[in-house]
């Protein structure tokens, strides 16, 4: 009988699955929690929508898009808008990705060779490790110290030992929310044999950047994203750097990686950034309120934040239980506890709207009181 559907419990023969590389089979896919109907404070999104006036502006632009044609492969207008907003030094080249995730992948593809490694800090953003593994590279995680700062001596020793092709430095770091000391970053840039990528995904909340220093170091690249500014759904990341280096990385980019709707919408929105800048200011202000409220709670150690999220540790209560109790109350945050080690019993909450944050604070107070 000819089969017309897959049945639950159907198995694929091992000999077929064995074609998938063992390191891929060993991976767990990047997990995105189901947030349907929840107060969503797990993914560092901007909680605010664009004001209606701005919305009609970019919708008009999108309505002109020729979706029967391939998009501009170089996204020239969009790059102009990004450069005008982010102001890299004159002569800097720009590469765009379908989110900065795709840029990390392009960087890895451009350097991948057996025996080569990518280095980042632990705890850190998981995609550096995952993409190193996708591309058949080694991954070296340099451990941060107890204050989540770079341990310079240990890090320089690891660099010396492994000669990483790329070192990723998230600034501020996810999930720890801090900006590493400038002197540590400077020493790493000096000592690195390959490229150093400063990942400024959370720039709107840190308001501090390495972009101005690009021309001083040819190995330095600065990566940004529009995701945390309020455009996560558009999927757009940007990499700035030396033209000759960017030119090489650009060769592994798929020709039309930024679709025409994103090109149109993002270019229009980025030309009028005022609303998003105001939202970022609101988020920074709310972050300070939440930091104080969490610090005032008994049994909570809260870490400083330069980002739009806060990492905190429960000193007595069990973080996984509190996380589940929050979920039962309709509040989704991120449980970092499973990672163990220095993140043991830690939770990460994204700064939302004032109302969302108040719901979170009430819910966590209840959860901690075993209600
Ligand atoms: N870098 C860091 C440090 C992040 O935390 C994230 C997402 N959470 C990204 C990059 C990826 O951002 P996107 O792909 O949305 O641009």
Rounded Cα distance between 39 and 370, Å, is 20
pLDDT at 35: 83
Token pair recorded at residue 59:
């919708």
Burial of 358: CB neighbours in 10 Å, binned 0-12, 13-18, 19+: middle
pLDDT at 251: 98
- Whether residue 104 has its Cβ less than 6 Å from ligand 1: no
How many A from CA of 181 to the centre of ligand 1? 21
- Whether residue 99 has its Cβ less than 6 Å from ligand 1: yes
| pLDDT bucket at 7, cuts 50 / 70 / 90 | confident
Rounded Cα distance between 194 and 167, Å, is 8
Residue range 338-369, pLDDT digits in tens: 877 899 999 999 999 999 999 999 999 999 98
Percent of the chain with pLDDT over 90: 88
Lowest mean pLDDT among 11-25, 149-163, 172-186: 11-25
The neighbour count for residue 19, using CB atoms within 10 Å, is 6
pLDDT at 28: 83
100, 131, 199, 334: residue to mutate for ligand 1 pocket, most atoms within 8 A of CB: 100
Burial of 66: CB neighbours in 10 Å, binned 0-12, 13-18, 19+: exposed
User: CATH classification of 39-46+275-368 is 3.30.1280.10, yes or no?
Assistant: no
pTM of the model: 0.96
Residue range 191-234, pLDDT digits in tens: 999 999 999 999 999 989 999 999 999 999 999 999 999 999 99
From atom 1 of ligand 1, which residue's Cα is the shortest distance away? Answer: 201
pLDDT at 181: 98
- Whether residue 237 has its Cβ less than 6 Å from ligand 1: yes
> Residue 266 above 80 pLDDT?
yes
Using the atom order of ligand 1, give the atom closest to the CA of residue 236: 16
Characterize 172-200 residue by residue with b for buried, 16 or more Cβ atoms within 10 angstroms of its Cβ, and e for exposed: bbbbbbbbbeeebbebbbeebebbbbbbb
> Residue 131 above 80 pLDDT?
yes
Burial of 117: CB neighbours in 10 Å, binned 0-12, 13-18, 19+: buried
Is the bond preceding residue 272 a cis peptide, omega within 30 degrees?
no
* φ and ψ at residue 109, rounded to 5 degrees: -60, -35
- Whether residue 199 has its Cβ less than 6 Å from ligand 1: yes
Sheet with 138-143, strands from edge to edge, namely 93-97, 237-241, 220-225, 195-199, 166-170, 117-122, 138-143
How many A from CA of 317 to the centre of ligand 1? 30
Fold of the domain spanning 65-270: 3.40.640
Domain parsing of the chain, residue ranges: 39-46+275-368, 65-270
Using the atom order of ligand 1, give the atom closest to the CA of residue 124: 3
Percent of the chain with pLDDT over 70: 100
Residue range 41-92, pLDDT digits in tens: 999 999 999 988 888 989 999 999 999 999 999 999 999 999 999 999 999 9
Residue range 157-185, pLDDT digits in tens: 999 999 999 999 999 999 999 999 999 99
- Whether residue 101 has its Cβ less than 6 Å from ligand 1: yes
Which residue, chain included where needed, has tokens 């023969």?
A: 13
Residue range 331-340, pLDDT digits in tens: 999 999 987 7
Using the atom order of ligand 1, give the atom closest to the CA of residue 104: 10
Using the atom order of ligand 1, give the atom closest to the CA of residue 43: 8
How many A from CA of 9 to the centre of ligand 1? 35
Element (H, E) at 134: helix 126-134
Tell me which residue of 100, 75, 90 sits closest to 267, measured CA to CA.
75
Using the atom order of ligand 1, give the atom closest to the CA of residue 102: 14
Lowest mean pLDDT among 54-58, 282-286, 298-302: 54-58
Selected residue with higher pLDDT from 371 and 242: 242
Token pair recorded at residue 186:
């400077």
- Whether residue 47 has its Cβ less than 6 Å from ligand 1: no
How many A from CA of 201 to the centre of ligand 1? 6
Residue 244, CA atoms < 13 Å, CB-side half-sphere: 4
Token pair recorded at residue 32:
């995105």
Using the atom order of ligand 1, give the atom closest to the CA of residue 170: 3
Label each residue of 2-68 as H, E or C: CCCCCCCCCCCCHHHHCCCCHHHHCCCCCCCCCCCCCEECCCCCCCCCCCHHHHHHHHHHHHCCCCC
> Residue 30 above 80 pLDDT?
no
Which residues neighbour 168 within 8 Å (Cβ) at sequence distance 6 or greater? 104, 118, 119, 120, 124, 125, 128, 197, 199
- Whether residue 170 has its Cβ less than 6 Å from ligand 1: yes
């Amino acid at each position: 009988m000819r089969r017309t559907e897959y049945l639950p419990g159907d198995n694929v023969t091992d000999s077929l699955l064995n074609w998938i590389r063992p390191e891929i089979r060993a991976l767990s896919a990047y997990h995105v929690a189901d947030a349907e109907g929840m107060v969503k404070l797990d993914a560092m999104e901007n909680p605010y929508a664009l004001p209606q006036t701005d919305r009609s502006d970019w919708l008009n632009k999108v309505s002109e898009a020729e979706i029967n044609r391939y998009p501009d492969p170089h996204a020239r207008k969009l790059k102009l808008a990004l450069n005008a907003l982010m102001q890299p030094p004159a002569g800097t080249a720009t590469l765009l990705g379908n989110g900065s995730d795709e840029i990390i992948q392009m960087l890895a593809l451009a350097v991948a060779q057996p025996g080569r490694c990518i280095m980042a800090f632990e705890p850190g953003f998981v995609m550096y490790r995952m993409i190193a593994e996708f591309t058949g590279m080694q991954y070296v995680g340099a451990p941060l110290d107890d204050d989540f700062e770079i341990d310079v001596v240990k890090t320089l020793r690891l660099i010396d030992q492994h000669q990483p092709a790329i070192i990723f430095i998230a600034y501020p770091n996810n999930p720890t929310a801090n900006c590493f000391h400038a002197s540590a970053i400077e020493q790493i840039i000096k000592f690195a044999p390959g490229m150093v990528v400063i990942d400024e995904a959370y720039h709107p909340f840190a308001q501090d950047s390495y972009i101005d220093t690009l021309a001083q170091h040819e190995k330095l690249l600065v990566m940004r994203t529009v995701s945390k500014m309020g455009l996560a759904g558009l999927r757009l990341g940007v990499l700035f750097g030396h033209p000759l280096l960017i030119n090489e990385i650009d060769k592994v980019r798929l020709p039309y990686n930024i679709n025409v709707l994103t090109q149109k919408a993002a270019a229009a929105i980025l030309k009028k950034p005022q609303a998003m800048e105001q939202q970022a200011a609101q988020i920074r202000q709310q972050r300070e309120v939440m930091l104080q409220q969490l610090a005032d709670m008994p049994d909570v150690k809260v870490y400083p934040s330069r980002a739009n999220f806060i990492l905190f540790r429960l000193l007595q209560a069990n973080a996984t239980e509190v996380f589940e109790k929050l979920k039962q109350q309709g509040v989704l945050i991120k449980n970092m506890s499973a990672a163990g080690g220095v993140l043991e019993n830690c939770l990460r909450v994204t700064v939302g709207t004032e109302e969302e944050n108040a719901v979170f604070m009430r819910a966590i107070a209840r959860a901690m009181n075993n209600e």
